[in-house]
Amino acid sequence: MNFSKTFLFVGNKILPFVGLPILIWLWVREGGIAFMTLVLGLPFLFGYIVPGIGTNFLKMWRFHDSWTIGNYFIHHGFIYASSMGFVMYFAFFTPTNNDWSTLLGNMVRGAGLLGFILWTHDFIAIREGMLEIYSEPWKRGAAPEVITAQYAPLCFSLLGACYAGIVTVGYQTVVLNKNINNLWWLFPLGLTVMSAVTSLPFLPWIKEILLQKAQG
């Protein structure tokens, strides 16, 4: 098994099951059960909702693997929770109340680290035939680096920045202020913002697909 196949195997099939319990323990130590629920629950839900819409409804991309249902992994949410929770553990610095410098620092680190990891994942997945992105570069037979360059830098860096921002605000409001009721607005806010920013590179394409569906 070469590096690329090992990278995909570990990220998609080992980390979600072996790493996730460890991450649960680490994030509980960091800020308690409620904070851990936010940190890992956000990417868990996001990983099922947004890729599910993109693959099975809009049919913009699909995964080829024995562990898929429809056009994406049956455990897609676990993949996102483990990978994003793992990266955030290194990007996250504990803030104080009204600590804007730490908030911005976490967002910058989240954008850089998560953006690089997810961009690398998609590049390797496309090269290995696990992932197909039905964009214009893909239709022209472009190389994986060209296909991913069209969306990955903006999409994944913004995702990392917003995720880090919500996690930081979550720590301030849930842990420091000791108010777990804030999860009721942090979850919908986080899912909305993360979904919106990852859609930005695809907006013209999404509009085209929806028009085609409306026209039958």
pLDDT digits 0-9 by tens, 14-46:
999 999 999 999 999 999 999 999 999 999 999
Where the chain has pLDDT below 70, the residues are: 1, 216
Candidates 186, 210, 213; CA nearest to 39 is 186
Total domain count, the chain: 1
For every residue of 63-95, DSSP letters joined together read E-STTEETTEETTHHHHHHHHHHHHHHHH----
Rg of the chain on CA atoms, in Å: 17
The residue range of the domain holding 15 is 3-214
Q: Residue 112 has which token pair?
A: 């850089």
- Residue 1's pLDDT is what? 66
pTM: 0.95
The 10s digit of each residue's pLDDT in 184-206 is 999 999 999 999 999 998 998 89
